[in-house]
Every structure is written in C-alpha cells, then in structure tokens.
Amino acid sequence: MNQCRLRSLARIRRSLTLGLRGTDQHVLARQALRTIQTTSQRRGVHDLDSFANGCSAAYIEGLYNKWKRNPSSVDESWNELFSSNDWSSPKRSPLQVSHSRKYRRPPVERIAVKARSGERTASGGASAAPAAPPSDWKNIDDHHVIQAIIRAYQSRGHLAADLDPLGIVGPKKRTSVDGTQRHAAREVLRQHFSYIFNDLNTVFKLPSSTMIGGDQEFLSLKEILDRLERIYCGHIGVEYMQITSLTKTNWLRDRFEKPGGLDLTKEEKKLILERLTRSTGFENFLAKKFSSEKRFGLEGCDIMIPAIKEVVDRATDHGVESILIGMAHRGRLNVLANICRKPISDILSQFHGLQATDSGSGDVKYHLGVFQERLNRQTNRMVRITVVANPSHLEHVNPVLLGKARAEMFQRGDTCGSTVMPIIIHGDASFSGQGVVYESMHLSDLPNYTTYGTIHIVSNNQVGFTTDPRFSRSSRYCTDVAKVVNAPILHVNADDPEACIQCARIAIDYRTRFKKDVVIDIVGYRRNGHNEADEPMFTQPLMYQRIKKLKPCLQLYADKLIKEGVVTDSEFKAMVSSYEKICEDAWAKSKTIKTIKYSSWIDSPWPGFFEGRDRLKLCPTGISTDTLKTIGNMFSTPPPPEHKFETHKGILRILAQRTQMVQDKVADWSLGEAFAFGSLLKEGIHVRLSGQDVERGTFSHRHHVLHHQSEDKVVYNSLDHLYPDQAPYSVSNSSLSECAVLGFEHGYSMASPNALVMWEGQFGDFCNTAQCIIDTFIASGETKWVRQSGVVMLLPHSMEGMGPEHSSGRIERFLQMSDDDPDVYPDTCDADFVARQLMNVNWIVTNLSTPANLFHCLRRQVKMGFRKPLINFSPKSLLRHPLARSPFKDFNECSCFQRIIPDKGPAGKQPDCVQKLVFCSGKVYYDLVKERDDHEQVETVALVRVEQLCPFPYDLISQQLELYPKAELLWAQEEHKNMGAWSYVQPRFDTALLKNENESRCVSYHGRPPSASPATGNKVQHYNEYKALITSIFGELTPENKKRIEDRIKKQQAKAKADAQSKPSTKPPAAPPKGGSSPPPAPTGPAPRKPLISLPSRPPRGGKQRSGSAPAPNLVDEDSAARNREPDASAYDGASPSAWKRSGSAPAPSVVPRASASRSPSRKSPSPSHDGISPSTRQESLSKKKSGSAPAPTPTSRGPFRTAPSNTEFIKRRPAKDYGSRNETQSTPGESELDPTKPQP
Ligand SMILES: Cc1ncc(C[n+]2csc(CCOP(=O)(O)OP(=O)(O)O)c2C)c(N)n1
C-alpha cells in the first residue's frame, strides 16, 4: 500500500472516529474506506497470484489443468477454490456458474470484530493477516467487486449507453463480469470486467450507494447486472457522479435507479404521442408548403418539443409563472407554434414576404422574439412564455436571457427562482464551441447573477453545419462544459420519446429542488441539410445514407404504442390529420394577413411604461441641495458605531475627504456618481452596477462596499441605506468576463424600464471581448426587434501612457455604429429637438468631463420617455483631478445635462479676440486648459467641450461657430487620427458649417497621427506625442513662459516641503496636480515614431472647397522646462490614479464654474433636411412602432422595495460561501439554504 493510500486511510479512520456517525460524511468515509480496503486486499492477493486477481479465462483454465495434475503446483488460494467448489466436476469449467440461489452474508462484520479485538499476528503487529477463513475472502471480494461494479455503472455507465439513433457512436456488446454479452464492456467496468463470479444467482446484499433494489435489500448478481445495465446503459446515459454534493448525487440516483421510477402511464404515453405528432406535423407542413424556404427544421430531434413541453408543464405545476427561453435557429418556429402557442397563421405570414407597417430593419423569421401569456391546460395555471429575440451569433443570447430572468425575479421579489425560470436550447456544435457558453455558465452560482438554475437542452443532431463532432470538439460530449458548474448531464436517445420525457421530468424536478443548472442532451440527427436547401451528402455521405433508412421518431413511437395497445392505428391517424387541419386552417388565415408589424414580435413589452407618456418630454434631472447633502453625508459617513464595523484606515481617510467635499459643497467624480445613484434610488428607481471590481472601482475611487477588516463577508454599503423607502441598490463585482456580463446586464435592462442598469469595463479597452453583444444587441437591438434598452456602458478611456490595451475604449467604433446621418443638418432645432434627436438615434455616446454632467447624464437615462443605451467614456486620472470637480449648484434643480460645455473664461467673454476655437472631448480638455495657461493664451484660445458626441449637438455647435466668427477652428484629441471622435465629428462639423452660407472655415485635426495600435507603451514616446499635440495647438513655449513655469514649480515645491514639515501626520493622500495630465518626464528619448500633423478637414461632401492646404508635418522639439514640470507617469499604477507622484503639493480643490444650461435654440427658418427625410417623420413612425406593444408584465414601478431598514440591516452578511468551502462536499449548509423544505434566507 503506498504512502498516499495510507494517508487516505488514516484520514478516513479519523473522520469515522470523530463522531460523524449518521452523517453523509460518515457514509462517504465508510464507502471510501471499504473501496480502499478492497483494493489493497486485492492487491495483496494479486502479489500471491491468487484467484482474486482479474485474469483471463485461458489463464484460469491453464491453472485449473495444472491444479488437476498436481494441486500443490498452484497457489494455496487457487487450490482452495478449485477443491471447495467442486471444479473438478467434468461438467463444469471455471467460467460456468451454478444456478443455486444461496445468499452468503458479507463477512465484513466478523472481520471488523476481529480487528477491533486487537488480534495480533505472529510478528506482533496489528492484525493485517486474513482473519476470516480463506473461503470468506472470496466472499468479501465478491461483495467489494459488486460494489465497485455498481459504482462503475453509476459513474461510467453513460459511456456504454445506447444514445445514438444512428448507431455511429454506440456501445458494442462484450463479455461482461457474469460471462454474458452486455453493453457495459471494458469502458464501464474496466478492471472488473473479467472478475470471476462462481454463481450468477448468488444473492448479494446491496450497498447503501445504490437504490436499484427499491425495497429489496438483496438481489442476485444477475438481477443486479440486469438492472444496472437497463438504468445506465439503455437510452439514457446519465453523468452525475462528478457532482461533489452527496445530497444531489443521492437524489439523482434515487430518481434513476428506483425500480419503476421511470415508468409512464398509458395516458402519459398518449400525451407524448400527441405532442410528437404536433412537433413532426408542424415541420412536415412547413416542408410541404415552403419546400425551398429556410426554416431550420427540427426533424431528427422532433422529440425536443414534447420534452420542452414537459418542462413547462411541470415547472408551472411547481409554481413557475414566467418561463424565458433562449434559443437559436433550429426548431425555433416549432417552439413558437407548439410551446408558446403563437398563432400559426402569424408564423406562416412571415413566409409571405410582407411589408412591415412599423419602422425598423426587422429580422429573419427564426430570430424574432415572442411573448405569450396563456393558460397551461395541463396544470390549469397561467404561464408567461418569452422567447428572447436573438442574433445569428450562436449562444450569445444566453447571458442576455439570464440577465432578463434575473431582473424578472428581482421585480417579483423572487429570491429563489420559484416563479421565473430560464431555459436555454443549444446546438451541439455551438454549445461546445462558443466561449460565451462557458462564461455564462460561470454566472450560474454567483450571488448577484444566479438565476437559481437554468434548464439547458441540447438539440444534438451530431453535426454543426457541415462539420461532424470528430472535427468540432476535443471533448467526448458536447456538454462537457457544463461540468464546470457541477451540473448533472442527462444524455438521451432522441428516438426514445419516453426516455426523453423522463429526462425532462427529472431535470425540472432537479432544478426545482436544488436551484441549479441541469443539462439534457437529446442525441438525435438532422434529417435534412443544415437548412432545407443544403445537400448534406456532399459532406456527410455515410451518415446520410443511414439517416435515409431511418423511420421518423413519430412513426417508430406510434408503432410501439400501437403494439402495446396504448393507441390504435386509427387513433394515431386521427391525431395526425387533426393537426394537419389545424395547420391548413392557419395557412388559409395567414393568406388574409396583408402586412406585418415588427412590434407584434417583441419579447420585452413595457406597455405600462409607454402608456400616456410624452416621449418628447425630458424631465428635469437636477435635485435639491438637501438631497445632495443627505446623500453626501451618508456616502461619507462610516458604518454606525453601534455595529462595531472595523473600517480600513485608508477608507476612513477617503470618507473624511468626502465629508470635506460635502462641507465645501463640491463633488468629485465618485460623489457625483453617488448623487446620481442615490437620488434615483430615492425616487424608487432600482440601480444596478456590475462589472469587474466595480464595488471598489478599478481605480479605487468608488468604495461603495466597505469590508469589515476582521470578519469575513461582513460588508457595508451606505447607498443601500439612504432612505427608508428607497429602491434597492445592487453593486456587484462580476466574474472576469466582458461578453457574458455585459450581455447579462443588457438582458437585465430589457426586463424593466424602471431601473438604471450599468456595466463598467475594467478598462474600456476590454469591451471588445464583448463585441458581439455590443454589435448585435446593444447597437442594433431596437432597430431589429423594436426592443428598447437603457443599459449604460461605462468605459474607462484616456491616453495616460498606460500602453495599447489600457488607453482606449474605442470611441471610434461606437461612433461609427451610431446611426445619425452625418450629412443631414436637423431641419428644426425646436424645443423637442434634444429629445427627438435622442429618440431617433440607436444609442447615446458621451465623453464627459465633469461629475455634474455624469450625474445629469445618468439621471437623464431614466428621465427620458423612452430607453436608449448610453455608452459613456469614463475618465481615469480625472477621477481625482482637482479641476474635475463640480460645485453643488451644478447638480441642483436649475441645472441640467450639458451636451457641450462652452468656454466660460476670458476667451468666452471676449469672443472677438479669440484666434483659435478648439473643440475637444473628455480628459484632453484639462491638458489643454493647463497648456493654454502655460502658453499664456487664455484670451486668444477658446476651449469648447463636446460632452455628448452622439447624437451630435448640431444646434449648440452652430452657436459656437457663430460666436467666434474670426477664430480658426480646431479639433483636438489625444487619440490617434484613425481613432477617437475625429472621423465622426469631422463630417458633422462640415454639415454644421455648410448650414451657414457665409462660412468658409473648416475644422483642422490636431492629435496623434494614424496608428494601428491605440497607444504607445513607451512613456517617452507618449510624452513626445503629447508635446506634439500641444505644440501643434499652442506653438512652442516662449522663454518667458518657461521662466514663469519654472518659478511656479519652485514655489510649489517649497510650499509642499513646508507643509510636509509642519503637519506630516495629517497630510491627505496624494492628489494629482493642477492640470494633472499624463505626460511623463524624460523627453530625452527618441523622437515620436510618426510626427504629429495638423491638417484642415476635408472639404464637405457636395460643398464648396475650403481654402487652406495641409501644413507640413510638424516635428516637435523637446521642452526641458516641461520635462521638469510634468508628472511621472510611472507613478501611476493603473489601479490608483491617486498615486501620481508630484514634486509639488496637491493644490486645493478648485471648482469648475458651471456653464449655463444648454437650451435648444429656436430656429426661425429651419432648413430642409438634405435627403428630404425629416427626423420628425422618423419620430412619428417610431412612435407608432413603439405604441403597438403586446401585453406585458406590469411591474410595480418601485419594485420589491424594502421598508425602512432596521439598524441591523445596515451591515450585510453576504450570501457568498465561506473561504475554504468552495468544495461542495463540505458545503452541505449551502445546500440546505436552497432546500425548499427549509426556510429561505
Ligand atoms: C458565432 C457563430 N459562428 C458561426 C455561425 C454560422 N453557423 C450557423 S449555424 C452553424 C452550425 C451550428 O451547429 P449546431 O450548434 O450544432 O446547431 P445545428 O444547426 O446543428 O442545430 C454555424 C456554424 C453562427 N451563426 N454563429
């Protein structure tokens, strides 16, 4: 016995003596002990070449013959065996078995007694020698092997199960332990398969690890093997032994093994046949009527419909009221017709190629969403079924569906998934191939993302388009990904309808019982090509030769039931023709349909939200100073002292700074954000923020969740305790996924308009791993599916010398996908202009520069009369920038969101003196402010911030252009020329300029040159690029400028030194310097890779040629004065912009003067739009399309809000598992939490 085994034995013995008797662990330990003992005993015998060693028949035959010649020539054990069992009888061979039914009691107890009594061997050691007579050893081994065989079937029986209707992948019969031919061959029984039992009819006591006996404790070997074979190697292959929870494995074992547990009544069988008739009949009907149309039929997996129906029925019976289905193309129309009961005529009308009466792009028929509420006749309960609209991108609907389900649960106050249930239907190739499946699976058990179990159904047709599994995955099963969450996986042969229904039944019961994911893998085939027009013989000739010979499942099952006498042939024929008639009638009705409406295919209707609402009315977003103070005070106060919450000292310092800000009536970024969240919560709007590390904030600025410094899971979130009747606030660190988590939040936002749902990227750069969600759902979801979403993406973005993947949220991509026309100046800029512009665009893109604007922008998201995704590029260094602060008055009732922020300084006051009007967006503004100051050009250069890039604020831009008639026009950006907002704003500036007939100016570009990489990782290069940008706008610093700057720096350094000496202990954490831009020092490095260029914009399309040609590339010299002055970017570690190391002390917070609220100018003579389509036309059609929504959930506007929090609710204990208890075997308390028989938390 090796050291490892000895250690396990010792461990198990210890656990047995620790008084765990009667518990699961005790049973487990005993089983493990037995297994180990058996193995070791057998090993010992093996060394003596004994009978217990698995060996071949030929070998035993040889031994037997040897023994017959001379009994002492073989090992004593063989001698015993051959003599005691009368092997010498001429009629018997060692492989034959006797048929006497004799039971031999397992001798374990006797051995145990002997061992306990401390019998010693001759050597004086503990008794290790056989304590039982030699014949008992055989008996012991028999029992152990039986146990091992049972275990082998349980864990590996699926490998020999008969799952494939095509018989391509399937078990071959081999000689089993009892000498008969069985499916369970080497793969299942491995080392046991050739073990020799003397008597097939010997009766064994069944171990507690199996329920195959039902009420019987004893079964003959033959019966044991027969039952195991039937249960585990029939048409169901169940993978569940990987589950580490004994409760769950026992539950599943009980369901599968108990005799009669899988039997169905006559009525149930008849119902399956009826449903299968519908499923098959629907596809047959479509095939007949639209033979050349793509419909992605289900033929070969037709049983999927009755299986889903079984899940729906049983779930409804268990109390589920809302079922959400996510699925791709295959069988989707069938699901709509036979699961949702969408009128078949409506479905057929999609084949007629009709004109839509509402606007939008529409989508192909097998992507459309459906929302149906109906009475489930089987259970007589109402059920709401939603099939979420999905793009072609396989599996990407999964997280969206999960988010939607989670939000519905939240709205209903359902904290354990008892009323809402998600079902996801997968294809076999996509289930194993798409990474989003894995990402979504990992959300399944996270406290703020769980949907308390999803039913996954794989319509496994054993081919993906033209690729068969041998070439499309490395795992044995397409479902192996589900093992990461310990989900049971039920593989089932699609041609055995009863087995499929049983699996569906067990799956839904499992979900109800444990609130965990479960997978049903329906292994069938695809009768046609990928779509109905495809020729499958090109690529799968042998497979399709077999398929052609196969009878459809419906026919096979009907034959079976007729044979069993469950139905008669004529009854079956009547079933078929009755459904055909239903389809024919629907067909006739569909021909009367002349138009279609996209809005009747909506999956997330919000009728209560739109009714009676003036969509063009933008409600004010400002709030009272009192509210600001309440939120500010709460946000800056540590947990109440009575809770003895141990707060980190650094956090206390941050809170103290917040308190100071509230006293000074000024807000930094995190306070501005908190004002937005807190005020919405006060108004009953649920706020949810999710993403990687959002609780603290990637840049350590947010700190919404405070952690007790000496107790695990004890946290405090002040924003969740602002007001007694506030809406719940959910801020949650997510798994390290962008695609699934963004999809989830998008889905969450779809469920209700009365919530502010935000996803924050760690850095904006990483959002491209969620590109599919961005492209197919967020950018185009409303256009394709008439479905609105107000989801907010917060994407940290700015060039701070942090390298190519920590700099850019890719503004250009979002802007390029914006659907506002660059060439059309709005025909009217009336009072509704702002709202109409917002309503008509596919999403809003902002790059904000003040906390107040962030506050208004976030609040506007829920104040609009419609919902629109918001893509906001968030700052990094601005989070702590002393200039990036807003006074309280910028948040109050007379303030509002500023789409642009004009220059309010000397330049703005004397526009005629301004020589350069610089438009910019985001953080670069603060760089420009500082440099303008250093260059002493505050009167001649005006800086205008474009805060809302999309929709483009034409009206305000025009005002600015008119205000500075003599100024040269510049666009300044820190991004490379092929990135950032330039390619978006350039044509729009042109369009705005063209509006004025007397205008001859154009806007020139000032920024980094084009590049393949979003940013350099070299600090010197970063600095040089920065300098080039600045120089191209302001020119070189004069000697006087440099002298002034040097003097200022010296002064600052001296002051900092004095401050540090006078009060070292009270020094606040380092704050970035005034104008804290990112350029690093050491401009002694190489020159920029590409020179910065300053070019005039291209002439407007269709407009007159502008004067001025492109100046020569402008190479920039190093500036030694600036080198001394600039911060060290290396001090910025990415996690904390506060880590800026400066030679000077942090300047006192300064306040950005509030610019006046923007107003839509009233245009007297609006010019016609360039293409003749007025925005109002689109608006009208949009209003029409949005008004015709189907009935829907009408969640209370305030959701399941709690009443006033009691003091004890202030500190929360998180529902996450304890450290060290991730292993489910140890976490039985976690299971009991979800045990419906026990009180729910
Ligand atoms: C992300 C993505 N990649 C590729 C495709 C193209 N495509 C459409 S269906 C299909 C095969 C899917 O196979 P499977 O998941 O087994 O489903 P089936 O069509 O066989 O039911 C492919 C590759 C797609 N739609 N989405």
**What phi and psi, each to the nearest 5 degrees, are found at residue 831?**
-65, -30
**pLDDT above 70 covers what percent of the chain?**
75
Q: Which of 69-73, 288-292, 904-908 has the highest mean pLDDT?
A: 904-908
254 or 117: whose pLDDT is higher?
254
Domain spans in the chain, listed from the N-terminal domain onward: 137-235, 266-597, 625-890, 900-1038
- Other Cβ atoms less than 10 A from the Cβ of 1207: the count is 10
266-597 and 900-1038 in the same fold: yes
Q: What local confidence, expressed as pLDDT, does residue 595 receive?
A: 82
Q: How far is the CA of 101 from the centre of ligand 1 (A)?
A: 56
Q: What local confidence, expressed as pLDDT, does residue 569 receive?
A: 97
Q: What is the DSSP string of 1001-1058?
A: --EEEEEEPP-SSSS-S-HHHHHHHHHHHHHHHH-PPPHHHHHHHHHHHHHHHHHHHH
What is the Cα–Cα distance from 241 to 581, expressed in whole angstroms?
47
Q: What local confidence, expressed as pLDDT, does residue 378 receive?
A: 85
Q: How far is the CA of 330 from the centre of ligand 1 (A)?
A: 9
Q: How far is the CA of 467 from the centre of ligand 1 (A)?
A: 10
Q: What is the DSSP string of 744-785?
A: HHHHHHHH-SSEEEEEE-SSGGGGGGGHHHIIIIIITHHHHH
In this structure, of 109-113, 492-496, 902-906, the range with the lowest mean pLDDT score is: 109-113
Q: What local confidence, expressed as pLDDT, does residue 233 receive?
A: 92
pLDDT digits (tens, 9 = 90+) for 670-680: 999 999 999 99
3 state SS for 556-608? HHHHHHHHHCCCCHHHHHHHHHHHHHHHHHHHHHHCCCCEECHHHHCCCCCHH
CB 580 within 8 A of CB 330: no
In terms of residues, how long is the chain? 1241
In this structure, of 103-117, 122-136, 1160-1174, the range with the lowest mean pLDDT score is: 1160-1174
Q: Which two tokens stand for residue 942?
A: 């005006």
Q: What local confidence, expressed as pLDDT, does residue 132 receive?
A: 56
Q: Which two tokens stand for residue 529?
A: 């090509």
What is the Cα–Cα distance from 546 to 523, expressed in whole angstroms?
15
CATH number of 266-597: 3.40.50.970
Work out which ligand 1 atom sits closest to the CA atom of 461.
20
Tell me which residue has its CA closest to atom 20 in ligand 1.
464
- pTM to 2 decimal places: 0.80
pLDDT over 60 at 124, yes or no? no
Q: What local confidence, expressed as pLDDT, does residue 6 receive?
A: 36
Q: What local confidence, expressed as pLDDT, does residue 813 receive?
A: 97
Tell me which residue has its CA closest to atom 23 in ligand 1.
465
CB 653 within 8 A of CB 638: no
CB 332 within 8 A of CB 366: yes
**pLDDT-based confidence at 853, cuts 50/70/90?**
very high
Tell me which residue has its CA closest to atom 17 in ligand 1.
427
Q: How far is the CA of 530 from the centre of ligand 1 (A)?
A: 9
Q: What is the mean pLDDT of residues 1038-1042?
A: 94
Work out which ligand 1 atom sits closest to the CA atom of 459.
21
What is the Cα–Cα distance from 695 to 701, expressed in whole angstroms?
10
pLDDT digits (tens, 9 = 90+) for 142-159: 888 889 899 999 999 999
CB 471 within 8 A of CB 277: no
Q: What is the mean pLDDT of residues 69-96?
A: 59
What is the Cα–Cα distance from 941 to 911, expressed in whole angstroms?
9
Average pLDDT over the chain, rounded to whole?
A: 80
CA-based nearest residue to 1005, from 875, 1149, 1108: 1108
CB 336 within 8 A of CB 374: no
Tokens 């976690």, residue?
Answer: 1230
pLDDT digits (tens, 9 = 90+) for 361-404: 778 777 888 899 989 888 899 999 999 999 999 999 999 999 99
Show the CA angle centred on residue 954, arms to residues 948 and 960, nearest 5°: 95
Q: How far is the CA of 430 from the centre of ligand 1 (A)?
A: 6
CB 865 within 8 A of CB 835: yes
pLDDT digits (tens, 9 = 90+) for 438-477: 999 999 999 999 999 999 999 999 999 999 999 999 999 9
Q: Which two tokens stand for residue 49?
A: 């070449």
Q: Which two tokens stand for residue 970?
A: 């510049």
Show the CA angle centred on residue 1096, arms to residues 1095 and 1100, nearest 5°: 140
Q: How far is the CA of 42 from the centre of ligand 1 (A)?
A: 50
Work out which ligand 1 atom sits closest to the CA atom of 296.
19
Q: What local confidence, expressed as pLDDT, does residue 533 receive?
A: 84
Measuring from each residue's beta carbon to the nearest atom of ligand 1, which residues come in under 6 Å? 330, 392-394, 427-430, 434, 459, 461, 463-465, 530
What is the Cα–Cα distance from 422 to 505, expressed in whole angstroms?
16
Tell me which residue has its CA closest to atom 2 in ligand 1.
393
Tokens 């192909």, residue?
Answer: 364
Q: How far is the CA of 165 from the centre of ligand 1 (A)?
A: 22
Work out which ligand 1 atom sits closest to the CA atom of 330.
21
What is the Cα–Cα distance from 444 to 417, expressed in whole angstroms?
12
- 625: Cβ–Cβ under 8 A, 6 or more apart, which residues? 665, 888, 892
CA-based nearest residue to 855, from 1120, 1119, 631: 631
pLDDT digits (tens, 9 = 90+) for 1057-1110: 998 887 654 443 443 333 334 444 433 333 333 333 333 333 333 333 333 333
CB 560 within 8 A of CB 266: no
Work out which ligand 1 atom sits closest to the CA atom of 427.
15
From 283, 390, 394, the mutation candidate for ligand 1 (largest count of ligand atoms within 8 A of CB) is 394
- 921: Cβ–Cβ under 8 A, 6 or more apart, which residues? 847, 849, 945, 946, 947, 949, 973, 981
1006 or 89: whose pLDDT is higher?
1006
295 or 1097: whose pLDDT is higher?
295
Bridge pairing between strands 714-716 and 1211-1213 = antiparallel
Tell me which residue has its CA closest to atom 13 in ligand 1.
464
Q: How far is the CA of 394 from the centre of ligand 1 (A)?
A: 6
What is the Cα–Cα distance from 468 to 472, expressed in whole angstroms?
6
pLDDT digits (tens, 9 = 90+) for 543-588: 999 999 999 999 999 999 999 999 999 999 999 999 999 999 999 9
Q: How far is the CA of 465 from the centre of ligand 1 (A)?
A: 6
* CATH entry 3.40.50.11610 includes domain 900-1038: yes
pLDDT over 70 at 817, yes or no? yes
Classify domain 625-890 at the CATH topology level. Answer: Rossmann fold (3.40.50)
Tell me which residue has its CA closest to atom 10 in ligand 1.
465
From 465, 473, 478, 544, the mutation candidate for ligand 1 (largest count of ligand atoms within 8 A of CB) is 465
Q: How far is the CA of 429 from the centre of ligand 1 (A)?
A: 7
pLDDT digits (tens, 9 = 90+) for 629-648: 999 999 999 999 988 999 99
What is the maximum alpha-carbon separation in the chain? 123
